[in-house]
């Protein structure tokens, strides 16, 4: 017997037929003797509808009431799934975030989990054989008000619950059957990975891959929760029940680096189209200027990613380029303009016709020449690199958005990731 947490996203529970399909997946695991807690999202599109209602009611609204409204979608889904399981003869009970409880800080709309006293729910799973259907995305703050964890928060709910109850694994069911070497819509030869390290998955998620929420991967890495990404759209009766041997279960296992037998130099190529570029031309090249540029951005909670600075030929000025989220571009431009008196004279430009492409792999730690091959391959295709950032297992470049598909396909083939 295995103790499992199964998480189903919005597309997996979009209507009653899909909820019945989810129930069949849960039934398969229960009949195999596994103890299951199930974490569910709101039905597809429901959270967007609820957010729109709160904004229509009042553009400036109380964040506590916002959480009370938008968290209701998960409450509906958890109740419907519990009812469906009960109708199939499976003992099940729905749990809301405050009943588990998921204790969080008081940051309404983007709360972080601080504690999960899960003794009761674990006892029900193991001693009574009861399936716990848990509403994801929600918790309870220090003031006993409902909180929400931010977009994609149900992934975090599932991983946190798995850590709290000591689950053998957390299975994230989604609309794809695993993590691929890159987006199969761009590269038809993309391969599904059998396993990927926490570090690689974290980079993939933060650099544009949408399979898992970044915070959930961070939590899984810190708490050592093994995560299996698998599809909810495959017929439940064609899939083997989950056990301790993941090799029998289709999907991608996110785990510690030591569990991966064969480590490739590069595991995947990610891209992010939601990047915008800000350029300051002719800034005085003197101490403290960078602080005067990035300090106000930090105070405005605008995250800056890639940064490039070039000194002009006269040695007295510098051109500074950095990237922000596209949604933050207009605000970032206003912040920089507002700091002009502190920064000095400069020409300000912004654009959204860029994309960030990242090469990711833990094998890069021990292999030289990965970047050189990347730059040469792109140069051969006539693709200009506007900015570069690196980490121990990642190289990211900023290029013209028009070359996205060409760059991804080129790099995917370059590092031998194409399926045979």
Instruction: Select from 3.90.650.10, 3.40.50.920, 3.90.1150.10, 3.30.2130.10 the CATH code of 263-420.
Output: 3.30.2130.10
- Look up the pTM and report it: 0.85
pLDDT of residue 169: 95
Q: What are phi and psi of 234, to 5 degrees?
A: -80, 145
DSSP states of 1-48:
--EEEEEE-GGGGSSHHHHHHHHHHHHHHHHTT-EEEEEE-PPTTHHH
pLDDT of residue 244: 44
Q: Please, what is the end-to-end C-alpha distance for the chain in angstroms? A: 37
SS3 category, 105 = coil
pLDDT of residue 241: 65
Average pLDDT of the chain, as a whole number: 91
- DSSP letter at 150 equals -
pLDDT of residue 39: 98
pLDDT of residue 312: 77
CA 409 to chain centroid, in Å, comes to 23
Where are the CATH 3.40.1160.10 domain residues in the chain?
A: 3-259
Rounded distance, CA 397 to CA 359, Å? Answer: 9
Q: What are phi and psi of 113, to 5 degrees?
A: -70, 130
Unique residue bearing structure tokens 């995250």:
303
DSSP states of 215-241:
HHHHHHHHHT--EEEEESSS-GGGSPP
SS3 category, 374 = helix
CA distance to 281, 338, 355, per residue, from 308 (Å):
12, 22, 15
Per-residue pLDDT of the chain in tens (420 residues, 90 and over written 9): 799 999 999 999 999 999 999 999 999 999 999 999 999 999 999 999 999 999 999 988 999 999 999 999 999 999 999 999 999 999 999 999 999 999 999 999 999 999 999 889 999 998 889 999 999 999 999 999 999 998 889 999 999 999 999 999 999 998 888 999 999 999 999 999 999 999 999 998 877 677 888 899 999 999 999 999 999 988 776 666 665 455 566 899 999 988 887 678 899 999 999 899 999 999 888 889 899 999 999 999 899 989 988 887 877 888 999 999 999 999 999 999 999 999 988 999 999 999 999 999 988 887 888 999 999 999 999 999 999 988 889 999 999 999 999 999 999 999 999 876
Rounded distance, CA 2 to CA 245, Å? Answer: 10
Rounded distance, CA 3 to CA 36, Å? Answer: 6
pLDDT of residue 238: 65
Q: What are phi and psi of 173, to 5 degrees?
A: -90, 130
Rounded distance, CA 230 to CA 219, Å? Answer: 19
- Identify the burial level of 180 via C-beta atoms within 10 angstroms of its C-beta, where 0-12 means exposed, 13-18 middle and 19 or more buried: buried
Q: At what angle do helices 72-87 and 63-70 cross, to 10 degrees?
A: 20
β-strands 103-104, 3-8 pairing: unpaired
Instruction: Select from 1.10.357.10, 2.60.40.790, 3.40.50.300, 3.40.1160.10 the CATH code of 3-259.
Output: 3.40.1160.10
Burial 28-57 (b: 16+ CB within 10 A, else e): bbbeeebbbbbbbbbbbebbeebeeebeee
Joined tokens for residue 197: 């390290």
Unique residue bearing structure tokens 């390290």:
197
Where are the CATH 3.30.2130.10 domain residues in the chain?
A: 263-420
Rounded distance, CA 244 to CA 241, Å? Answer: 10
CA dihedral (371, 374, 380, 381) in degrees, to 10, reads: -140
């Amino acid at each position: 017997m295995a103790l499992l947490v199964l998480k189903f996203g919005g597309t997996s529970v979009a209507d009653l037929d899909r909820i019945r399909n989810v129930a069949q997946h849960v039934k398969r695991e229960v009949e195999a003797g596994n103890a299951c807690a199930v974490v569910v999202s709101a039905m597809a599109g429901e959270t967007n509808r609820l957010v729109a209602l709160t904004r229509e009611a009042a553009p400036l609204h109380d964040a506590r009431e916002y959480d009370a409204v938008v968290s209701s979608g998960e409450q509906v889904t958890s109740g419907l799934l519990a009812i469906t399981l009960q109708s199939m003869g499976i003992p099940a009970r729905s749990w809301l975030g405050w009943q588990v409880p998921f204790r969080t800080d008081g940051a309404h709309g983007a709360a972080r989990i601080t504690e999960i006293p899960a003794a009761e729910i674990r006892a029900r799973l193991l001693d009574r054989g009861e399936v716990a259907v848990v509403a994801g995305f929600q918790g309870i703050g220090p003031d006993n008000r409902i909180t929400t964890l931010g977009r994609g928060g149900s992934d975090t709910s599932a991983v946190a619950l798995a850590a709290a109850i000591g689950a053998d694994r957390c299975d994230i069911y989604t609309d794809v059957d695993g993590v691929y070497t890159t987006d199969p819509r761009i590269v038809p030869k993309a391969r599904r990975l059998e396993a990927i390290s926490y570090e690689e998955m974290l980079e993939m998620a933060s650099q544009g891959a949408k399979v898992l929420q970044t915070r959930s991967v961070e939590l899984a890495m810190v708490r050592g929760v093994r995560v299996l990404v698998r599809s909810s759209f495959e017929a439940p009766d064609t899939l083997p029940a989950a056990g301790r041997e993941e090799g029998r279960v289709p999907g991608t296992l996110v785990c510690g680096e030591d569990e991966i037998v064969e480590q490739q130099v590069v595991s995947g190529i990610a891209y992010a189209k939601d990047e915008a570029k800000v350029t300051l031309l002719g800034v005085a090249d003197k101490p403290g200027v960078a602080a005067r540029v990035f300090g106000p951005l930090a105070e405005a909670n605008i995250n800056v990613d890639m940064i490039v600075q070039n000194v002009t030929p006269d040695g007295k000025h510098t051109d500074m380029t950095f990237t922000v989220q596209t949604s933050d571009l207009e605000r970032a431009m206003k912040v920089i303009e507002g700091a002009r008196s502190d920064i000095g004279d400069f020409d300000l430009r912004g654009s959204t016709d860029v994309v960030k492409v990242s090469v990711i792999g833990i094998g890069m730690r021990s292999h030289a020449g990965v970047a050189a091959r990347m730059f040469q391959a792109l140069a051969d295709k006539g693709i200009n690199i506007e900015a570069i950032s690196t980490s121990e297992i990642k190289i990211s470049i900023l290029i013209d958005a028009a070359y996205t598909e060409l760059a991804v396909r080129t790099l995917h083939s370059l590092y031998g990731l194409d399926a045979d």
